[in-house]
């Protein structure tokens, strides 16, 4: 088919709002619906939602109205916490209703199991979730209360008298766990939904998406073989939108150091993304499936050195001013990839190691060790001109999503991944 493509924007927050604005200004798209979650946005003209003239299409909080629309593709931009609050059920329904879905929130590699997959036992999930630390308001007070109850429950389940009853407890725990924190569907289940609707699903963005699955893997083509891979991102979040994760406090910033570790919500949620990234690289460079890939996380806080106010959050010296997250990927027992995210709030709180970008503003490092050489790509921001503006990050992710819509609509039904095979066209001089 050819454009204009009839699209729906699901969740017009920071990124979804930019996608909506861009699509309304483009002749390549016709926006036929917008799914909102705030009651005060229901019934408003979608153009007015993003500061443009009215277009005659009203936003709705009704999922049923969206499912009933005749649309080619849904641009899916929910909040990241929504991934443990039932967002997958919405995507399954969208796919089965015959709508392609491109998402910035997930689905970069659905075949890779995570700690919350339905392939995990209910008690295994319960044990992980009961240790989760939540700060801020992104997940709501209800989850915080629920976690306290889960911790008590896990102590009872793990007690010696109940260990012989483990199989029965698994069956009893399953509906309770899936109601409190729905386990995420497997790649097979998402594939079934695609086939039923005759459509495709794809996850993309800056990272995961362009940085590793496109740029890093393209660089790997320079080498005959790759032994180890490292991706490092350093960023200043002092001007990140409040809508990202529900604010800096939800990420752990400004909290006591003891509040952030490898069981913090940010650590577990980021695991969703980097399970997929590392599995994609393992498949591309080693030819192995997800059953041979294991990802371990190590997250630690760094105390702030200076006081800063950002996004409504006050960070005092000694509180969490930077967070270092490392996700180590193993094929069997061999470490082959490390994905690191080192975020700070304000240049005065930057946590830069000797091999980090030499910029307080941040940047990226891609390093591949192999035969016949080591390949390294460094991206370092200019401290003097840096304004901590996150709009570029949002714009790149929005462009990645909208650019893939034509190919996704033309693709055969199923979960779609980037194609890195050589492609050529005739040059007309």
Within-domain flag for 424: no
Asked whether residue 257 falls in the same domain as residue 337, the answer is yes
Asked if residues 72 and 3 have their Cβ atoms less than 8 Å apart, the reply is: no
Asked whether residue 276 falls in the same domain as residue 311, the answer is yes
Within-domain flag for 428: no
Alpha helix ranges (H) inside 121-210: 122-130, 140-157, 166-180, 187-197
Q: How confident is the model at residue 27 (pLDDT cuts 50, 70, 90)?
A: very high
- 299, two tokens: 């997250």
Q: What pLDDT score does 154 carry?
A: 67
Residues 6+ apart with CB under 8 A from 129: 147, 150, 177, 180, 181
Tell me: pLDDT of 254 over 90: yes
Question: C-alpha angle with apex 100: 268 to 43, nearest 5 degrees?
Answer: 85
Q: What pLDDT score does 247 carry?
A: 83
Asked whether residue 259 falls in the same domain as residue 281, the answer is yes
Asked whether residue 230 falls in the same domain as residue 87, the answer is no
Asked whether residue 65 falls in the same domain as residue 158, the answer is no
End-to-end CA distance of the chain: 29
pTM: 0.91
- 316-323 mean pLDDT: 98
Q: What pLDDT score does 389 carry?
A: 62
Asked whether residue 70 falls in the same domain as residue 106, the answer is yes
Domain that holds residue 163: 122-180
Asked whether residue 146 falls in the same domain as residue 265, the answer is no
Within-domain flag for 427: no
Asked if residues 77 and 13 have their Cβ atoms less than 8 Å apart, the reply is: yes
Calpha distance 210→183 (Å, rounded): 27
Asked whether residue 194 falls in the same domain as residue 232, the answer is no
Q: How confident is the model at residue 353 (pLDDT cuts 50, 70, 90)?
A: confident
| Structure-derived torsion over alpha carbons of residues 214, 220, 226, 230, reported in degrees to the nearest 10 | -50
Asked whether residue 277 falls in the same domain as residue 311, the answer is yes
Within-domain flag for 420: no
Asked whether residue 70 falls in the same domain as residue 128, the answer is no
Q: What pLDDT score does 382 carry?
A: 76
Within-domain flag for 425: no
Within-domain flag for 52: yes
CATH of the domain at 108: 3.40.50.720
Q: Which helix (H) or strand (E) holds 20?
A: helix 14-25
pLDDT tens column, 329-351: 999 999 999 999 999 999 999 99
pLDDT tens column, 160-215: 676 666 677 777 778 877 887 889 999 999 999 999 999 999 999 999 999 999 99
CATH of the domain at 279: 3.30.360
Question: C-alpha angle with apex 229: 276 to 265, nearest 5 degrees?
Answer: 40
Q: How confident is the model at residue 149 (pLDDT cuts 50, 70, 90)?
A: low
Asked if residues 266 and 252 have their Cβ atoms less than 8 Å apart, the reply is: yes
């Amino acid at each position: 088919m050819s454009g204009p493509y009839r699209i729906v924007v699901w969740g017009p927050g920071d990124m979804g709002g930019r996608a909506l604005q861009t699509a309304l200004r483009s002749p390549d798209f016709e926006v036929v619906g917008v799914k909102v979650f705030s009651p005060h946005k229901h019934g408003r003209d979608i153009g007015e939602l993003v500061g443009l003239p009215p277009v005659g299409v009203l936003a709705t909080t009704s999922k049923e109205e969206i499912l009933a629309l005749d649309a080619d593709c849904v641009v899916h931009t929910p909040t990241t916490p929504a991934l443990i609050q039932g967002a997958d059920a919405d995507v399954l329904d969208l796919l089965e209703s015959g709508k392609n879905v491109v998402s910035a929130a997930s689905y970069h590699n659905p075949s890779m199991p995570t700690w919350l997959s339905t392939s995990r036992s209910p008690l295994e999930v319960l044990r992980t979730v009961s240790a989760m630390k939540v700060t801020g308001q992104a997940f709501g007070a209800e989850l915080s209360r629920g976690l306290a109850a889960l911790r008590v429950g896990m102590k009872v389940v793990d007690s010696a008298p109940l260990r012989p009853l483990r199989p029965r407890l698994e069956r009893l725990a399953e509906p309770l766990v899936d109601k409190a924190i729905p386990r995420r569907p497997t790649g097979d289940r998402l594939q079934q939904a695609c086939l039923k609707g005759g459509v495709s699903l794809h996850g993309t963005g800056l990272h995961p998406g362009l940085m590793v699955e496109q740029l890093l893997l393209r660089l790997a083509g320079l080498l005959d073989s790759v032994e180890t891979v490292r991706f490092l991102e350093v960023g200043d979040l002092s001007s990140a939108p409040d809508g990202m994760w529900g604010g800096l406090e939800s990420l752990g910033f400004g909290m006591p150091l003891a509040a952030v570790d490898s069981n913090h919500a940010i650590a577990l949620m980021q695991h969703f993304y980097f399970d997929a990234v590392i599995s994609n690289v393992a498949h591309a460079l080693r030819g192995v499936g997800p059953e041979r890939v294991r990802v371990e996380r190590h997250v630690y806080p760094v105390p702030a050195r200076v006081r800063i106010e950002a996004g409504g959050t006050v960070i005092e010296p000694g509180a969490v001013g930077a967070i270092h997250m490392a996700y180590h990927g193993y094929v069997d027992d061999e470490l082959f990839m490390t994905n690191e995210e080192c975020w700070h709030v304000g240049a005065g709180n930057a946590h830069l190691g000797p091999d980090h970008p030499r910029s307080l503003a941040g940047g990226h490092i891609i390093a591949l060790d192999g035969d016949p050489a080591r390949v390294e790509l460094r991206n370092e921001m200019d401290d003097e001109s840096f304004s901590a503006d996150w709009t570029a990050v949002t714009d790149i992710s929005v462009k990645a999503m909208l650019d893939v819509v034509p190919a996704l609509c033309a693709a055969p039904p199923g979960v779609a991944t980037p194609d890195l095979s050589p492609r050529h066209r005739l040059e007309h001089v």
